[in-house]
Amino acid sequence: MTPASYIVLGLLERYGPGSTYDLKRRAAQALGNFWSTAHSQLYRTAETLAKDGLLDPTTESTPGGRERIVYRLTPMGRKRLAQWRAQEENELAELRDPGLLKLYFGADPAALAPAQAAAHRRQLQAYEQRKHEDDGAEPRGPWLTLEAGIAHERVWVRYWEGLAATTDP
């Protein structure tokens, strides 16, 4: 069980049964840039989970006559997800920022900082807009997560802008 497994389980629980393509869209929309996964990975993960009895796959045809596999959580899958959720978490996230890595190994801040600051400003705006659009109807988790994203983007913006300022003029 990797994080990707729980993403699949979680998305199915929250938004109901769906095809892998649905999962892909949901993941992009919901987790967005806080935890991305390639769609081919979702395929494999879903298959594996189905093989393990955590998902129940059924083949349906679309209006267009194409077939697709729709997955739904089995009781076991539901249970597994709940267990994970209840488990205390002790892993810490790593920063793993490619820009920061460059900086660490001696990149010139003046060259790096402006672009990074701009990118993070964009991301921050996107998150803030999303928070604005939130109508409070969704469960609490996504909103809390958004908050975290915003807080971090703010720090990044401040950080890189600071770096740009001290080296620029």
Q: Kindly list the residues in this chain that would bind DNA in the complex (CB under 7 A).
A: 1-4, 19-22, 24-25, 36-41, 43-45, 48, 62-69
Report the residue number, 48 or 74, with the smaller CB distance to DNA.
Answer: 48
Q: Three-state SS string across the chain, please? A: CCHHHHHHHHHHHHHCCEEHHHHHHHHHHHCHHHCCCCHHHHHHHHHHHHHCCCEEEEEEECCCCCEEEEEEECHHHHHHHHHHHHCCCCCCCCCCCHHHHHHHCCCCHHHHHHHHHHHHHHHHHHHHHHHHHCCCCCCHHHHHHHHHHHHHHHHHHHHHHHHHHHHCC
36 binds a copy of itself (CB under 8 A): yes
57 binds a copy of itself (CB under 8 A): no
Report the residue number, 119 or 150, with the smaller CB distance to DNA.
Answer: 119
- Which of residues 54, 117, 157, 163 is near a copy of itself by CB under 8 A? 163
145 binds a copy of itself (CB under 8 A): yes
Report the residue number, 68 or 103, with the smaller CB distance to a copy of itself.
Answer: 103
- Which of residues 27, 149, 157, 164 is near a copy of itself by CB under 8 A? 149
- Which of residues 72, 102, 121, 130 is near a copy of itself by CB under 8 A? 102
